[in-house]
Chain A
Amino acid sequence: MKDRHLSLNQTQRVRLEAALHELQSLAPAAASAAAVTVADTIPVNQEDNILKGHGTSDQDGEVVATLCGVVERVNKLVYVRTLRARYKPEVGDIIVGRVIEIAPKRWRLEINFSQDAVLMLSSMNLPDGIQRRRTAVDELNMRSIFEENDVICAEVRGFQHDGSLHLQARSEKYGKLERGQLLMVPPYLVKRKKQHFHHLEQYNVDLILGCNGFIWVGEHVVVGEKTKPTGGQQRFSTEAENFTPLETRKHICRLANAVRVLSALGFTLTVELIIETMEASVSSNAEINDMLGAEFYVQTAEREAKRRADLLRKKNGAR
């Protein structure tokens, strides 16, 4: 928990504790039963031959956890889902990463995985949009596509035979991300969903929830427009012309701060929750910078506790 960085006063501390306590009490009872730590024995029925998945090992015929987390059971498979760990890629995940190196025919990206991901020149669409073999000239012009420290959105293609992770960006929605903020949150807070790209029309903002815990909040880009050739001098002139309006920039900052608050509290990030938090900040007249302060932090915790309590009540009432 990062609330140590906040200077809470006495009332706020009490309120926060109450809210967190309520959140914990609202969690399903199964959650506490399934939590394991390193070297805990996982109770299994030895007769139905189970499959030991990630985070488990066999010691003297017992299944023992090698990680801290939550035990998940899928039919015969028993595995431990970690909470605070690095990202574990799965094929097809949408991720946001940062270019750290340009190597021959490939970019190396930092994606919060145990190794750097590789984006091959051949596994992305060229800016001119033509399908053709990549030539030596393309290879020399790689910096005109992505430079070091650029933020990129891509998809996980899979592991190569040598164990390296390859990405692909074969669609117009992938590519360089500009005019926005990159936020890094623990990957367990982002759940795999159908939709990871979100265009928030009311704010003219794009929100990308990368499965690796990198979250992009930026100005909305019309798909197809960003494939315009952007070379050298021309780029600077266009950048100066169509700058991001102040209103949009404020929205970006508000959304980004909402994500920061939610991740500091440790809530699973969904678009609905982010927008709700942002709107709450607007309606409570909180300044953008006050969103990271103690008062809003406590308010967010209380609001979420209330929301979950209401949901639970509704669910129980329906039964």
Chain B
Amino acid sequence: MEYVNPLTGFRVDGRRPNEMRQLKGEVGVVARADGSALFEMGNTRVIAAVYGPREVQNKGQQVNSNEALVRCEYRMAEFSTGDRRRKPKGDRRSTEISLVIRQTMEASILTHLMPRSQIDIYVQVLQADGGTRSACINAATLALADAGIPMRDIVTSCSAGYLCSTPLLDLNYLEDSAGGSDVTVGILAKMDKVTLLQMDAKLPMDTFENVMGLAIEGCKAIASYIQECMQINDLNLSKIAVPTMDITQPLKSLTCCGWMAFVHCIAVHRNFLGLLERPMEYVEGPVGLLLSPKSRRPQNSPSHFVGIW
């Protein structure tokens, strides 16, 4: 079968060899999740939900309590493929892809900022048309950003293949199952680092470089799209939430002397009890009182009390 038309140079679905499928990203699709996203690459459609950081449920899984534990579950819906095949939950393909996604995302998540917690990423394939693991990684990135989980960089992934001696970007199911090689690349978009590289079948060294270069270009294009999605969501939330005026209402401040008297009372009282190590003194200034910085607070004073001397 011809995967690239020798006359026009178009692929079976009418794309050019270096053309991607249409992207679509939507944030906040699962109400109960901390973060969620729907991501489409052509007919491949994936939904991702992120729960966490939350308390570690199974303490046995926690390797290092100074870092967050990242877990991932990849599943394909029964109805996602053309033929409705029964796939048990623990099948090897899903397990492998779960692991791949987990490792890719873990490279980007700043796990050390969330000690003693776990992050669960659930990705579900709703429609499979090739490149599901790429779509899952992209969806997971969007969902993690929505959940407010700190990340080093945006991780994106894209696949590329080599058929009819042409490097092809973003393979669909038909091209994927053609038997040619299929390179999936995941990169940290701004830092230009590769976090995922998988290849089925073999390729000569020089062709591989071309194909991988094409996949990386695809990743970057996806990264700019994902960033756009985040930006829109971000703006929507921040602009609608902020009441224009409510923040600027004046502080109802106590008069300075009132404060002085109040603080004085407490300080004298505490001094009387022998709680202060050193005799107190006022610092005269334009404001009238000077609140001591945290470091100078005596150890035995309660945290909400700030004395003066």
* Chain A residues at the B interface, C-beta cutoff of 8 Å: 1-2, 4-5, 20, 23-24, 26-28, 31-32, 35-40, 55, 57, 59, 64, 66-70, 82-86, 91-92, 114-116, 158, 163-164, 188-189, 265-268, 270, 273, 308, 311-312, 315
Contact A311 B245 (CB under 8 A): yes
Q: Give 14 CB contacts A-B under 8 Å.
A: A4-B29, A24-B236, A27-B239, A31-B235, A31-B239, A40-B227, A67-B150, A83-B241, A92-B304, A115-B54, A188-B241, A267-B243, A273-B243, A315-B244
Q: How far is the CA of A51 from the CA of B191 in the complex (A)?
A: 22
Q: How far is the CA of A125 from the CA of B268 in the complex (A)?
A: 28
Given contacts A28-B242, A83-B238, contact A114 B117 (CB under 8 A): yes
Contact B245 A315 (CB under 8 A): yes
Q: Assign chain B's interface to a size class.
A: 35 or more
A91 CB to closest chain B CB, in angstroms?
6
Contact B148 A20 (CB under 8 A): no
B148 CB to closest chain A CB, in angstroms?
2
Q: Which residues of B contact A64 (CB under 8 A)?
A: 190
Contact of A59 among B31, B110, B191, B236 (CB under 8 A): B191
Contact B235 A35 (CB under 8 A): yes
Q: How far is the CA of A112 from the CA of B68 in the complex (A)?
A: 16
Contact B28 A69 (CB under 8 A): no
Q: Which residues of A contact B230 (CB under 8 A)?
A: 37-38, 68
Besides A31-B235, A39-B151, A92-B303, 10 new A-B residue pairs in contact (Cβ under 8 A), listed by A number: A1-B236, A27-B244, A32-B235, A35-B238, A66-B151, A67-B150, A70-B238, A83-B241, A85-B148, A116-B55
Contact B234 A308 (CB under 8 A): no
Q: How far is the CA of A190 from the CA of B233 in the complex (A)?
A: 19
Contact of A39 among B154, B235, B237 (CB under 8 A): B154
Q: Which residues of A contact B240 (CB under 8 A)?
A: 20, 23-24, 27, 265-267
Q: Which residues of A contact B149 (CB under 8 A)?
A: 67, 85
Q: Which residues of B contact A164 (CB under 8 A)?
A: 116
Q: How far is the CA of A55 from the CA of B272 in the complex (A)?
A: 45
Q: How far is the CA of A67 from the CA of B303 in the complex (A)?
A: 31
A101 CB to closest chain B CB, in angstroms?
10
Given contacts A37-B230, A67-B150, A315-B245, contact A31 B31 (CB under 8 A): no
Determine if B180 is an interface residue (Cβ-Cβ < 8 Å).
no
Contact A37 B231 (CB under 8 A): yes
Contact A91 B190 (CB under 8 A): no
Contact of B55 among A27, A115, A315 (CB under 8 A): A115
A83 CB to closest chain B CB, in angstroms?
4
Q: How far is the CA of A69 from the CA of B116 in the complex (A)?
A: 24
Given contacts A35-B231, A35-B235, A114-B52, contact A266 B150 (CB under 8 A): no
Contact B243 A268 (CB under 8 A): yes
Q: Which residues of B contact A92 (CB under 8 A)?
A: 303-304
Determine if B217 is an interface residue (Cβ-Cβ < 8 Å).
no
Contact A308 B245 (CB under 8 A): yes
Q: How far is the CA of A4 from the CA of B28 in the complex (A)?
A: 10
Q: Which residues of B contact A91 (CB under 8 A)?
A: 303
A319 CB to closest chain B CB, in angstroms?
13
Determine if B175 is an interface residue (Cβ-Cβ < 8 Å).
no
Of all chain A residues, the one with the shortest Cβ separation from B110 is: A66
Of all chain A residues, the one with the shortest Cβ separation from B54 is: A114
Contact B244 A158 (CB under 8 A): no
